[in-house]
Amino acid sequence: MSGKTLSEKILSAKSGRDVRAGDVVICEVDYALGTDGSIPMAMDYFAAMGGERVHAPRRLLFALDHYAPAPSPKAALLQAGIRRFAKEQGIPLFDVGEGIGHQLVVEKGFAAPGRLLVGADSHSVTYGAANCFATGIGSSDLAGVMKTGKVWLKVPASIRVRLHGRLAQGVYPKDLALYLAQLLGTDGATYETLEFAGDGVQSLDFEDRLVVANMSVELGAKNAIFPYDEACRRYLEGRVDDLSGALHADADAIYSGTLDIDLASLEPFVAVPHQVSGNVRVETLDATPVQMVFLGTCTGGRTKDFRQALGVFREFGQPASGVQLVVTPASREVLLELTQGGELAELIALGAVIVTPGCGACCGTSGAIPEDGANVISTANRNFKGRMGNPTANIFLASPEVCAASAIAGHIASPRMLLAGHQSR
């Protein structure tokens, strides 16, 4: 029989069967995440399933991140119910202000090589950067995990994405993610794994890989998975208690397709409203004014992202008047790092509106809502109509550097375009 992809290996181990793409398996889950967006409905399903005590409370993680802080009495009531349930059942809870669940799963060392993680939120695919199988599930699935510790999964076929070389200066993993969305379209990887390989992987550090894995769902992928290497080990060491589960794909594994990407050939991209796959080169948008710039989310809200943005502000100055700069660190750890490093003070001095760590403005549940007809440029992963809470707003997606440069210019721009503008004056 042929060799196995990374997904086939992990799902074989977790189901106790020798499985290949297309098989349906029932797997033991290592960790399952729920959020205040999905837990209330899961609690209803759990009760309907006759659930009383959850199967393994320490394998569940609850994060109050979607309505943080609660924007209404109704949201506060739902959160109170989740807190009560978590306490009764002994389920670890990350309360309002601790950050985005996906960031916490990684930061706190729950994502580790060889593990199977699921989350009742589509961006649970993020953890695949840690050489584990991680995918999004629904509230009924989460209830099933609460009841049994298990989930049913169809073993996905895998698309091998071979990265070569390294990104040019001014080009970021966000640009790679947007390029992949352009190449494959919003359903080009549906039901499939994106398995990353090639010498170019080592030029991306662990946090870069989180960005790419996070956005794989925008192409319809079931999960994304990166190889285990030195960069992965360096990030996880000290966070994860057991790194022995690292896996490599077999040389004779069967893939549904292979993409070869020369990282050096990529340029800064911007996704234009209202599809993640609608991407253009940043230069083509320089007549587009912006009213809001958003730095944050489970895609672009880590310390490294804010440092990249600050590099641009230090070189080219303040946000233009009439631009609201919204900053939402992905977690309390990120907020603390920015505080200790002095970056937070710099951002405040630039006039940034600092929002509680959480999902906030990204999904329009709490935080900053754009005005009618506003153009927003954001480090987030989705630009659907209405995404940030106002269906008349237009959301553009780009790297932290392009977002910062756009804030300074007052219209969509890259640092290179700012430099050219300065020189021509």
Partner 1 sequence: MTTSINGMARRFGDDVNTDYIISSRRKRESLDPAVLKQYLFETIAPEFAASVRAGDIVVAGKNFGCGSAMEVAVTAVVGAGIKVVLAQSFARTYFRNAVNNGLYPIECDTSRIAEGAALSIELGEQVIVRCEGMTEPLQAAPIARDMLAILDAGGLVPYLLRNPSF
In the bound state with partner 1, the residue whose beta carbon lies nearer, of 324 and 383, is: 383
Ordered alpha helix ranges (H), 329-411: 332-340, 343-349, 400-409
> Residue 392 burial by CB count (10 A; 0-12/13-18/19+): exposed, middle or buried?
exposed
- Regarding 128 and contact with partner 1 (CB under 8 A), the answer is no
Q: Mark residues 5-24: x for contact with partner 1 by CB under 8 A, - for none.
A: ------------------xx
Structural contact between residues 322 and 405, judged by C-beta atoms closer than 8 angstroms: no
User: What Å distances lie between residue 269 and 40, 53, 77, 175, 281, CA to CA?
Assistant: 38, 49, 41, 5, 5
Q: Mark residues 265-294: x for contact with partner 1 by CB under 8 A, - for none.
A: ------------------------------
> What's the min distance (Å) between Cβ of 143 and partner 1?
7
Secondary element (H or E) of residue 257: strand 257-262
In the bound state with partner 1, the residue whose beta carbon lies nearer, of 61 and 120, is: 120
Assigned token pair, 386: 């209405």
Return the closest-CA partner of residue 35 out of 108, 118, 128. Answer: 118
Alpha carbon distance, N-terminus to C-terminus of the chain: 66
> What's the min distance (Å) between Cβ of 122 and partner 1?
5
- Regarding 89 and contact with partner 1 (CB under 8 A), the answer is no
- Regarding 245 and contact with partner 1 (CB under 8 A), the answer is no
d(CA 234, CA 280): 35
Return the closest-CA partner of residue 100 out of 414, 384, 373, 356. Answer: 356
Interacting residue with partner 1 among 136, 227, 370, 400 (CB under 8 A): 136
> What's the min distance (Å) between Cβ of 276 and partner 1?
11
Q: Which are the contacts of 348, defined by CB distance < 8 A and separation ≥ 6?
A: 354
- Regarding 182 and contact with partner 1 (CB under 8 A), the answer is no
Interacting residue with partner 1 among 2, 190, 284, 318 (CB under 8 A): 190
Stretch that binds partner 1, among 174-182, 187-195, 254-262, 352-360 (CB under 8 A): 187-195
Interacting residue with partner 1 among 83, 92, 109, 191 (CB under 8 A): 191
- Interaction with partner 1 in 24-83: which residues (CB under 8 A)? 24-26, 41, 45, 48-50
Residue that has been written with the tokens 């003070």 in this structure: 345
Q: Coil, strand or helix: which one is 231?
A: helix
Interacting residue with partner 1 among 10, 100, 137, 404 (CB under 8 A): 137
Residues binding partner 1 (CB under 8 A): 23-26, 41, 45, 48-50, 120-122, 136-141, 143-144, 147-148, 150, 152, 154, 186-187, 190-191, 220, 222, 384, 386
